[in-house]
Amino acid sequence: MSRRFVIEAEGLPDLAGMMLVTVEALRSIGGSATIHELDERVAEIEGVSEEEQAFMMTGDGHRPRLNYFLSWARTYLRRGGAVENSARGVWALTERGQGITTYQQTQEIRAQVAEEEREKARQKRMAEKAQPAPDAELPEPDPSDDDDLHATDWENELLEVVKKMTPDAFERLAQRLLRESGFIKVEVRGKSGDGGIDGVGVLRVNLISFQVLFQCKRWKSSVGASEIRDFRGALQGRADKGLFITTGSFTSQASEEATRDGAPAIDLIDGDRLCELLKDLGLGVKTELIEKVTVDSGWFEGI
């Protein structure tokens, strides 16, 4: 089967093709999935190479081009009534989506949604008594803010700060992160020639303890399957589990390799998850709650 879309370092991929593969991916895993599950399944079905998954958005070293444009594809499908998403970030096929099987159908949805967006832009400009710009300059829909793929400003700022840390400082950050998460006896090794092992810790779960070796990389792009295989080779026979922490992302092949049958499991923490953990643990991130006071005038009238 020929490819429906290709990701390159620049340019716009075939969004209608991405939409069709997204529908097929959802159908193949039972009709619903998280964004992470869905993106990995799309990459698997379409045979997206690790090189393609390593391309990042221009000016944004945190967001892989594949995941960004898949977010566009989901947005078109949602606005076209083919998929729906819950507040918990689960995407599911609708009745209309179940009936999509051809490229022409997704192409029609894309054209329909794009035209609706252009019409909204025209109406806005008319309301402002301005001359509408040519169609070519009118915006098409950007991925919606209910798609949690997109990093917020604080996440982008946090990752930029972390990426500027020295390697040994980043290892100490990983050490602190694990300690705050319940690990004990966490040691940073940082020795050259240790097979890429940056540290070791012990995770105690009730009456059972697991020795965990960890590796942390300040990467801007994607970690591939070869890095996971190398890490597994280094921890073979030395620990119960492995933990790979990166400021970047993991390719679908890397995720598959991390949970390969018959091999020691390796848990993965990418840049998005790292931000969430640092925020939840209050490590270098402060969360402020703003109190909003509203006066109910109707309550006083009823006195």
pLDDT in tens, 47-91: 999 999 999 887 655 689 999 999 999 999 999 999 999 877 899
DSSP letter at 261? T
Q: Are 78 and 110 in contact (CB under 8 A)?
A: no
97-125: average pLDDT: 91
Token output for 156: 């982008």
Which amino acid belongs to residue 108? E
pLDDT of residue 131: 54
Contacts of 55 (CB under 8 A, 6+ apart): 7, 8, 9, 64, 65, 66
Q: Are 17 and 74 in contact (CB under 8 A)?
A: no
pLDDT of residue 146 exceeding 50, the answer is no
**By C-alpha distance, which of 50, 47, 65 is closest to 8?**
65
Evaluate whether the domain defined by 156-281 bears CATH number 3.40.50.261.
no
Helices assigned H by DSSP within 8-166: 15-28, 35-46, 50-53, 65-79, 95-98, 103-127, 153-163
Quick one: three-class SS letters along 205-260?
ECCEEEEEEEEEECCCCEECHHHHHHHHHHHCCCCCEEEEEECCEECHHHHHHHCC
| Cα Rg, the chain, nearest whole Å | 23
Q: Where in the chain is the domain with CATH 1.10.10?
A: 15-137
Q: Which CATH number fits domain 15-137: 1.10.287, 1.10.10, 3.40.470, 3.30.1370?
A: 1.10.10
Q: Where in the chain is the domain with CATH 3.40.1350.10?
A: 156-281
| Structure-derived torsion over alpha carbons of residues 98, 104, 108, 110, reported in degrees to the nearest 10 | 80
**By C-alpha distance, which of 18, 7, 13 is closest to 103?**
18
pLDDT in tens, 205-253: 888 888 999 999 988 888 999 999 999 998 888 888 899 999 999 999 9
Q: Are 199 and 231 in contact (CB under 8 A)?
A: no
pLDDT of residue 156 exceeding 60, the answer is yes
Cα–Cα dist 218/1, whole Å: 37
pLDDT in tens, 274-287: 999 999 999 999 98
Could you tell me what percentage of the chain is helix, strand and coil, using 3-state DSSP and rounding each to the nearest 5?
45, 20, 35
